[in-house]
Structure 1
Amino acid sequence: MHIPFRTAFPRVAALVLALSASAVYSAGSEASRPSATEPVTLYAGATVIDGTGAASRSNQDILVRGERIVGVGPHGSLAGAKEAGVRTIDLHGDYVIPGLIDSHVHLATPPDAKRAQAVLRRNLYAGVTAVRDMADDLRSVGELTRQARTGEIPSPDIYYAAVMAGPEFFADPRVAAASYGVTPGKSPWMQAIDKDTDLREAVTLARGTSATAIKVYADLPPELVAAITSEAHRQHIMVWAHSAVFPTRPADVINAGVDVVSHACYLAYQLEPVMLKSYEDHTPFHDALLAPKGDDPVIAGLYRDMLKHGTILDATGSLFVHYDAERKAHPERKPLRCTGPTTIRLVRQAWQAGVPISTGTDNDGGAKSAWPTEFDEMFFLAHDVGMPPLQVIRSATLVGAQAAGQAQDMGSIEVGKLANFAVLSADPVKDIGNIRSIRMTVKRGHEYPRTDYRPVTKEEMGNDDDD
């Protein structure tokens, strides 16, 4: 039986961490003496919302050595905090949540480093400590990833995908923009796949880009979706996919065993009597096909399959809801594949069925946005879908980390994980809008005070249709 990559490998990583006694401590336990080379900071007295969905814990201390959390417990209980050289930051009255994770961004289609860096800066200073890049020019994304990891630019960490799609997709002008200088479909980061492709070689080439995953994008039949997924997992790389890979129906995508599916809207195409033959056909879903009231039984079957396979839903719901609202003022705009109400209904049913939902945006917000679009997706889950704030925070943190294959290192405030968290002055459990009360982001133990944030400018964002 196939064990999904994200399930099996975090266990291995956890074992490695457990064997490193100098790095891992039990919550509330004593920390060993700080080393001379790694700074140690005590964040004292905060209310901690740990990202697991558990209730808030008041008056907690978080002890950080270098990049990692080495102690969490009631205020004054961490003996390691009393060692000489420990810096203390008083957070009494503040709230700490794990660093947020946007599970659907596009940083380089086409490459524009100035714009990408501006968006990443806006994300980081608002508490976003990781993003999942879902198909771009990986030559550019790879450099952004390196700069983010070394701290050369203020940025969340970046985890990215190499694309596989059917040959027809590579007439898309976005592909040409993201593979300039290489024949579309022939680059290791954007490969055209057909029945004659050597999938072992294709996956190996994708892995050579340092991608976290392969994104199965479009124009592939069910047997190739399944074959790509099988070979990728054999080579220990995740598979992220559109929830419908036209002409492959959602049920076949899910049953292929992919790790994450994107766009709740596309799941509705399971109900279409005749499936669209290609991704390029943007005929919207016919809303009348859904059951008139209550949960749709066909969609319920998809969610049962997702639970069976451990599939995460990268819903991107706010994008569809906002666009649908904009069309009321601009009816000349072409509709997206789903209306706002249908998208809300699909995501609500997923949540009520217990499907894990991450907070992907597929939208950078443009120059006018003061806050990351991650906040829009969180507000969508809370206000449109009806998810309680604790669960919204879990979606934006731990589930996002699972979607990126990084839950062994991030997504919750736990001993042994990276010191990635946001400090808020107001309680996000009372009102999810209080995520805007951010005072400071901590990423890999480095502090980014909100007062240091420099807003993005029109010049940085370039040709922005939103302005």
Structure 2
Amino acid sequence: MTAWKYALAALAMVATQPLVAQMEPVPARAADEGEGPFGKLLIRGATVIEGSGAPPAGPIDIMVEGNRIAALYPGGAPAAEAQDVQRVIDAKGMYILPGFVDVHGHNGDASKAPQPSYGYKLWLAHGVTTVRGVSFYFGPDTPDLSDARRSAANTITAPRLIPYAVFGDKWSRGAPDTPTEAREWVRWAKAQGYWGVKFFNGYSPAVFAAAFDEAEKQQMGTVAHLAQTGVAEVNARKAVELGLDDVTHFYGHFESLLKDAALPYYPEDYNYFDEQSRFAWVARLAPQAVEPGSETWDDYVDLLIESGVTLSPTFNIYAASRDVMRARGFDWHARYTLPSLMDFYAPSATNHGSYYKDWTSEDEVEWRNFYAKWFALTKDFHDRGGRVTAGSDPGYIYQTWGFAYIGELEMLREAGLSPLAVIRAATLDGARALYEPLGEEPPMGRIAVGQLADLVIVPENPLANLKVLYGTGHTRLNRETGVIEQVGGVRWTIKDGIVYDAPQLLADVARMVAEQEAAR
């Protein structure tokens, strides 16, 4: 039974998992990758979007000392304060935000991107300075923890890495099958240095309850992908009642809102292991659920609010389901998506998420309707005070690292969050979701004195147009010259007081892509 449950849990995430040993080690940070930290770094003249939801304000000069924000000077720093700085960034006319937090990251599949720095640099190039790995790598003897330590020491070019382990993974004893084993595994994971636990479904309510309780005692976070294989026993409502901190994706929500039955309907030829069948029928859950605004709907949203659970929807990762051709032709694929990654994205009987073997217009319409109800649930939850965060789950379904994160911000906006609320989800709320299990306020997530110097500097206003955050920028016509221009893109990402040139990071990635193309 244990092996079967673990197999179902693993298949919820991957259909075929290559050997982690094939992954290349992350190289040490080169001398020309990032400058600093500095004794004093002065950022001049930016408009500040500080992360809490407060409106923009500027111009403001920001003084950074080492890896912390030391002072904010509305209107400009006094001349005496600017005399002994080691580096000045002229950000006049630009916008500065807290570093972005991606709460759903992976980076351990050699068949897609064998060098982890490919993903790490793409995240940094898009302003992502913190990533929660759920997990970064799968299996025992993997470098989740060593990558996290090296990033904390800034000896590799990478965002701050927050390692979570999949429940039952990493150790040699197999999936926990009793409450006692669940507690033992959680304590073991804590002792190794993991910050939290990622759950898939397939365990009994008693095992979940024990694991959630032990994780809280150990000050570890919990996040769950409540796959179809286990929602008959533990849907999102049940998981939240048992003590889950964070529901990711859509799994478990609509099974908690069924209007005519205790279990969802699946056709007689449904096969969960056939991903075309699995994902086509995800969208068919929406008509089986109650309507927004109904008593059952409102009671469920109230439960989520009262529990204090976080929602990290990762809208972007399934977005291709409503328009495959668009996703296959994203602007960035040609220059920044590895050929091996494009191969993985293509329709496949084995690669997880590559399920478009015969994807029809009917499937896409069903998914568009599904998103409408999923958006409504997220918006209602947010409007009643619930915490929504931004996660990208990159490396699947045409969603390439970094670019996928900005896509998630656009989809949070599409769901109805205001631009300021989107930035808060990407910064302060993401940071709080990571540090709340520790009983701490996060050291990053907003622009304030004493906070870590994790910052994003952008030439254009992202509140007016989130597309200016994409590494490929935004295409617009200059009405005065008649010239089509590419504007935007992050100019600098600052992590721990180290200034990274975002265009240089993108050039490094483009070189990796070109080298792989040439080798082929």
Question: What's the TM-score, normalizing by structure 2?
Answer: 0.70
Counterpart position of 1:250: 236
2:509 to 451, 456, 462: 456
Contact 1:108 1:140 in 2 (8 A): no
Q: Which amino acid aligns with 2:427?
A: T
Matched, 1:234 2:217: yes
- Call closer, same or farther: CA 1:112–1:404 in 2, change over 3 Å: farther
Contact 2:98 2:427 in 1 (8 A): yes
Counterpart position of 1:387: 417
Other structure's SS at 1:197 match: helix
Counterpart position of 1:441: 493
- Call closer, same or farther: CA 1:101–1:279 in 2, change over 3 Å: farther
Other structure's SS at 2:58 match: strand
Comparing 207-216 with 52-61, which one deviates more in the overlay? 207-216
2:296 to 270, 295, 298: 298
Other structure's SS at 1:60 match: strand
1:201 to 172, 178, 184: 184
Contact 1:45 1:93 in 2 (8 A): yes
2:166 to 157, 163, 166: 163
Counterpart position of 1:210: 193
Matched, 1:52 2:52: yes
2:248 to 262, 265, 269: 262
- Call closer, same or farther: CA 1:85–1:58 in 2, change over 3 Å: closer
Q: 1:66, CA displacement in angstroms?
A: 0.6
Q: 1:333, CA displacement in angstroms?
A: 4.7
Q: 1:375, CA displacement in angstroms?
A: 0.6
Q: 1:367, CA displacement in angstroms?
A: 9.1
Unaligned 5+ runs, structure 2: 1-36, 329-355, 471-487
After superposition, residues 9-48 of structure 1 pair within 5 angstroms as 39-48=39-48
Comparing 422-431 with 86-95, which one deviates more in the overlay? 86-95
Counterpart position of 2:11: none
Q: Which amino acid aligns with 2:492?
A: M
Q: 1:153, CA displacement in angstroms?
A: 2.4
Q: Which amino acid aligns with 1:50?
A: E
Other structure's SS at 2:239 match: helix
Matched, 1:420 2:454: yes
Task: Supply the distance in 2 between the matched residues of 1:298 and 1:396 (Cα, whole angstroms).
Answer: 30
Contact 1:317 1:344 in 2 (8 A): no
Q: Which amino acid aligns with 2:95?
A: Y
1:339 to 352, 357, 367: 367
- Call closer, same or farther: CA 1:78–1:392 in 2, change over 3 Å: farther
Other structure's SS at 1:401 match: helix
Contact 1:322 1:340 in 2 (8 A): no
Contact 2:249 2:314 in 1 (8 A): yes
Other structure's SS at 1:144 match: helix
Task: Supply the distance in 1 between the matched residues of 2:80 and 2:198 (Cα, whole angstroms).
Answer: 44
Other structure's SS at 1:395 match: helix
Q: 1:380, CA displacement in angstroms?
A: 1.0
Counterpart position of 2:207: 224
Task: Supply the distance in 2 between the matched residues of 1:80 and 1:264 (Cα, whole angstroms).
Answer: 54
Q: 1:421, CA displacement in angstroms?
A: 0.8
Q: Which amino acid aligns with 1:452?
A: Q
Q: 1:132, CA displacement in angstroms?
A: 1.0
Contact 1:348 1:385 in 2 (8 A): yes
Contact 1:424 1:440 in 2 (8 A): yes
Aligned-pair RMSD on alpha carbons?
3.4
Task: Supply the distance in 2 between the matched residues of 1:213 and 1:279 (Cα, whole angstroms).
Answer: 28
Counterpart position of 2:480: none
Unaligned 5+ runs, structure 1: 1-36, 166-174
Counterpart position of 1:122: 122
Percent identity for Structure 1 against Structure 2: 24
Other structure's SS at 1:264 match: coil
Length, aligned pairs only? 406
1:408 to 442, 447, 452: 442
Q: Which amino acid aligns with 2:410?
A: F
Q: Which amino acid aligns with 1:62?
A: I
